[in-house]
Structure 1
């Protein structure tokens, strides 16, 4: 009897090639694509262009038809709004910078995928992410995809042991050029050349400020102008409202001080945005909460890891220390732009130890 797998289809090259590979391995597939948001999107932060758009729903369905397996479109717009979008807005309104793909993967994609897999009698779920899964001491953990340039483990650190136990990543051992070659070999020339986007799926113009203005009642009235201050508290000028700024921002500040200045802190309760020099933007430690552990049931005290604090970041050597229900991350060297709300993900070589949200 063939093993039945629920294949998450985006309509893009990655999920389509993943489906092809699973079929060649003898799996029986059931395709599913979620309708999450009412906009013509141009992509997800870590996915192919159009992964969450209305157009992509029909493209995914067409691909499933071409490959000969059943496909379902499920409407989860309300759940998406109550989790991903609510978190996205709430974080900015508290002076933090969220990562919606992390929330979406754990609560929407995997949360709904497992539920849907059970409904359709599927043993496992599969996606087109560039990641691998390891197992040690009866624990599952993520491992980086072979293609380091496409590795997506940073966005997947919140996946649970149950999630990982039932997940297949057919592209984990492949590079992007190899995936494109497979699509071309199967006769999908247009798909093999499909471009990618780094944008958030529900913000097609990549301007979160416009989105906040549209979604938050009286946004400009409630979150209006305030003071730019330096690290000593001296007033430097006026800003347009603290949610319009993120840690590390240099461009678009609307203030000229004669030398480069960066956003180094945001104080929402005082409606103040702190500007500082490149040196003042740097830090050597941070606290991380909302921890999810993968490789270990408990992180050994003082464990040395490579810590990534943003996706396009090679990571820096750091040590981890327990402090209550949080972890203190101490870097061996100073790092730029430690940003509250962003994810910190910890690696031992190729293995994901775990991750959390920067406080």
Structure 2
């Protein structure tokens, strides 16, 4: 059935082909570009998703497809993302702004805009699929496993999923690039995928120094210690370190050392061997219940993914009053406070729930 659809055009190949496929399907398509107000030209090897160059590419695609195009000023929304990003680092967490952008802006603010212009649906170029699981909507993995993006959509609410169209869910990346070239979208057909956080075109620590007061604990020098509490050296601020980091520690040691945790309040960075990064579980808050909605304390088998492009790990998940608790089948690396834990069904096909990692469990 033909309907009015708002498509998020990023200026890349994926959203461009998604829009083209919707036009082919007979929909009345409206293209929108989200202006961040905090990024400039994309240059060199770094490629974001909200630069001036991207906006121009998005407009060219809309013109070629013959669809209306709007550049929406989301500067205040992006400023909220930046505030959360800085706050997380100040608290010793590792933020994930791209996931929040999907919830707050791409399928939050854009969905509200769609309603204002009489559109019921919002579409994007993500490699994932929206499916029904009983009475609920959930997200299934894209057919191209190497490009699957279901993880970054794991925090979407039921209202957002009900309105979401993902035209590329059944396609592979190579097919999408070939389709773009066939349609004469040569400029975007070979364009690099976005890799950088759009509001951090350089070193994220420069952003933190601009946004945080000089007296912030996370920017003050402190000690680097090992797991036994032995002082190994000094650092210039905990904000410059993330869990799992190996390079840039400034410590000479007989074996590689990795950041185990940071404690801004004590101005402390704790390091240890890689095997010490493996955790027995985690506790997550601000849960989003997708296919699953268990009672408090009820345990579910599943697989937990801790990174956008990481593999999933077998685990059991139990609902708690503030979110859920995960127990891995075997000690697992990658559980980092501030990141999202996305829980899939035991067959690793669709999402059951997701939540923000609050703390990790050693055992």
Q: 1:18 is matched with which residue?
A: 18
Aligned counterparts of 2:173 and 2:261: Cα–Cα separation in 1: 37
1:350 maps to 2:345: no
1:186 maps to 2:177: no
Q: 1:51 is matched with which residue?
A: 49
Q: Which runs of 5+ in 1 are unaligned?
A: none
Residue of 298, 315, 319 corresponding to 2:316: 319
Aligned counterparts of 1:103 and 1:42: Cα–Cα separation in 2: 22
* Secondary structure, aligned partner of 1:149: helix
1:131 maps to 2:131: no
What is the TM-score normalised by the length of structure 2? 0.93
Cα–Cα, structure 1 residues 342 and 42, in superposed 2: closer, same or farther, change >3 Å?
farther
Superposition pairs of residues 1-359 of structure 1, within 5 angstroms: 2-40=2-40, 42=42, 49-82=47-80, 84-205=81-202, 207-218=203-214, 223-298=219-294, 301-348=298-345, 349-359=348-358
Deviation at 1:224, TM superposition (A): 1.4
Cα–Cα, structure 1 residues 220 and 302, in superposed 2: closer, same or farther, change >3 Å?
closer
What is the TM-score normalised by the length of structure 1? 0.94
Aligned counterparts of 1:62 and 1:23: Cα–Cα separation in 2: 15
Aligned counterparts of 2:218 and 2:323: Cα–Cα separation in 1: 32
Aligned counterparts of 1:153 and 1:337: Cα–Cα separation in 2: 18
8 A contact 1:12–1:50 mirrored in 2: no
Aligned counterparts of 1:343 and 1:310: Cα–Cα separation in 2: 7
Aligned counterparts of 1:94 and 1:198: Cα–Cα separation in 2: 25
Aligned counterparts of 2:41 and 2:241: Cα–Cα separation in 1: 23
Q: 2:361 is matched with which residue?
A: none
8 A contact 1:264–1:337 mirrored in 2: no
How many pairs were matched up? Answer: 353
8 A contact 1:41–1:201 mirrored in 2: no
RMSD: 1.8
